[in-house]
């Protein structure tokens, strides 16, 4: 954690600011180590300050990186900012994606005129996109835990259980195996319901001969995992097997395309073309993948609209899907670590079509 604030300072000039105010708690955690729910940080060449209220003083003392000056705010945190800033004219950056209009107005009211408020986009998010070895280790552990929970779910069978019950069993398994929580609400979607990319598990029972899309992840030590598998609950119709094979081929092509230096758009293009060539272009409506870390969706993005370029240390998903409205859905998602020469797949669950009854 200690060198992260240093790396942020290196970006301040380019963003046209002297000091950065961090109020997004995920970014605060990334920079300081603090995992509580009220706190803010200030980072500049000569400023390393962390502010919280009396409820979190002890937690802050334990967690916050030693290079940060730790202060307890009298009332609301914003009123404690000014005294931590250097003298004279100052450009103070704030996180424009995370500061509500009301907070901005309050800040402007509290700070003297010498301090200019400058909106800044995605500075810490840019740092967070490149994982250090300790972060990779944590994500790997979260991913392994999620894989083990999935095997537990499949071992108990799917047919005759409701989607909701299966999703709950998966989440219980993750918690039992040590996860803090699921990294998002698990998806279990059988048959036609699988055609909704963000399906909510229903009370409907899973039947034999269906494709079941299962998308889940565990959060461990703050870090998330994300994985999707589609399994069969018995003999499938020919067209369902064909769709599965096409998504599996696209997923493989997607993984093969991941490497440092490639554009997020470029990586998305190859599997997308493959699915289009297979006649399902309009049935793959979302991007190929997204970054994963302290949040389950973060930079960089693999999509046609992405302007990101992959770097070694990025952690991304590769998750093509085909969704046939009213019929079925197939998605296969791996979590991969971007390396100079390609990528390393963290997910260990097999991708060949599995029959689970």
Q: How far is it, in rounded angstroms, from Cα 272 to Cα 288? A: 8
Cα–Cα distance for residue pair 332/271, rounded to 1 Å: 12
The single residue listed with the structure tokens 């994985």 is 227
Q: How many residues make contact with Zn ion (CB under 5 A)? A: 5
Helix-helix angle 133-155:163-176, to 10 degrees: 130
Q: Of these, 95, 135, 215, 334, which contacts Zn ion (CB under 5 A)?
A: 215
Query: In this complex, which beta carbon is closest to Zn ion, that of residue 210 or of residue 228?
Result: 228
Please, which residue, 93 or 293, has the CB nearer to Zn ion? 293
Contacts of 37 (CB under 8 A, 6+ apart): 25, 56
DSSP secondary structure, 130-159, as one string: S--HHHHHHHHHHHHHHHHHHHHHHHT--T
Stretch that binds Zn ion, among 110-118, 161-169, 226-234, 300-308 (CB under 5 A): 226-234
Residues 63-82 that bind Zn ion (CB under 5 A): none
Q: How far is the CB of 101 from Zn ion (least distance, A)?
A: 31
Main-chain dihedrals φ then ψ at residue 139, nearest 5 degrees: -70, -40
Which range touches Zn ion (CB under 5 A), out of 85-93, 113-121, 171-179, 312-320?
312-320
Binding mask 228-257 toward Zn ion (x if CB under 5 A, else -) reads x-----------------------------
DSSP annotation of 204 reads: P
Closer residue to Zn ion in complex, CB, 49/336: 336
Q: How far is the CB of 182 from Zn ion (least distance, A)?
A: 11
Residue 292 CB, shortest distance to Zn ion, in Å, is 7
User: Least distance from C-beta 287 to Zn ion, angstroms?
Assistant: 9
Stretch that binds Zn ion, among 136-144, 145-153, 277-285, 314-322 (CB under 5 A): 314-322
Sign of the torsion formed by the C-alpha atoms of 158, 164, 169 and 174:
positive
Q: How far is the CB of 311 from Zn ion (least distance, A)?
A: 19
Using CB under 5 A, which of the segments 28-36, 66-74, 119-127, 317-325 binds Zn ion?
317-325
Q: What ranges in 159-199 are assigned the alpha helix state H?
A: 163-176
Q: What share of the chain is helix, strand, coil (3-state, %, to 5)?
A: 35, 25, 40
For residue 150, give Cα distances in angstroms to 95, 131, 145, 166, 350: 37, 25, 9, 10, 11
Q: Contact between 308 and Zn ion (CB under 5 A)?
A: no
Backbone φ, ψ for residue 346 (5° rounding): -85, -30
Find the part of the chain contacting Zn ion (CB under 5 A) among 100-108, 133-141, 229-237, 325-333: 325-333
Q: Does 334 engage in binding with Zn ion (CB under 5 A)? A: no
By CB under 5 A, name the one of 226, 268, 295, 308 that touches Zn ion.
Answer: 226
* Nearest-5° Cα angle at 9, 65 to 74: 50
When asked if residue 317 is in the footprint of Zn ion (CB under 5 A), the reply is yes
Give contact residues for Zn ion (rule: CB under 5 A): 215, 226, 228, 317, 333
């Amino acid at each position: 954690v200690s060198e992260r604030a240093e790396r942020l300072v290196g970006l301040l000039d380019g963003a046209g600011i002297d000091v950065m105010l961090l109020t997004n708690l995920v970014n605060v955690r990334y920079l300081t180590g603090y995992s509580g729910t009220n706190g803010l940080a200030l980072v500049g060449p000569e400023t390393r300050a962390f502010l919280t209220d009396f409820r979190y003083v002890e937690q802050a003392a334990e967690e916050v990186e030693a290079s940060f000056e730790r202060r307890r705010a009298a009332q609301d945190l914003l009123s404690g900012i000014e005294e931590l800033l250097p003298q004279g004219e100052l450009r103070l950056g704030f996180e424009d994606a995370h500061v509500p209009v009301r907070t901005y107005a309050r800040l402007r009211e509290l700070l003297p005129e010498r301090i200019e408020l400058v909106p800044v986009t995605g500075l810490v998010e840019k740092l967070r996109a490149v994982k250090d070895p300790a972060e990779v280790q944590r994500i790997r552990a979260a991913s392994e835990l999620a894989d083990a929970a999935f095997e537990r779910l499949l071992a108990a069978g799917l047919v005759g259980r409701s989607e909701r019950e299966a999703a709950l069993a998966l989440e219980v398994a993750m918690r039992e195996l040590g996860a803090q929580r699921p990294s998002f609400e698990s998806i279990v979607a059988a048959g036609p319901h699988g055609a909704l990319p963000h399906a909510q598990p229903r009370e409907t029972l899973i039947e034999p001969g269906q494709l079941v899309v299962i998308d889940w992840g565990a959060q461990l030590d703050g870090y998330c995992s994300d994985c999707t598998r589609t399994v069969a609950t018995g003999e499938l119709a020919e067209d369902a097997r064909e769709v599965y094979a096409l998504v599996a081929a696209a997923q493989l092509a997607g993984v093969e395309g991941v490497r440092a230096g490639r554009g997020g758009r470029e990586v998305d293009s190859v599997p997308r073309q493959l699915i289009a060539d297979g006649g399902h272009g309009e049935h793959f409506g979302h991007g190929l993948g997204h970054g994963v870390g302290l949040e389950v969706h973060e930079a960089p993005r693999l999509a046609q609209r992405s302007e990101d370029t992959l770097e070694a240390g990025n952690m991304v998903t590769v998750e093509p899907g085909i969704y046939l409205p009213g019929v079925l859905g197939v998605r296969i998602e791996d979590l991969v670590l971007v390396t100079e020469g390609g990528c390393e797949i963290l997910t260990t669950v097999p991708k060949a079509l599995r029959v689970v009854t």
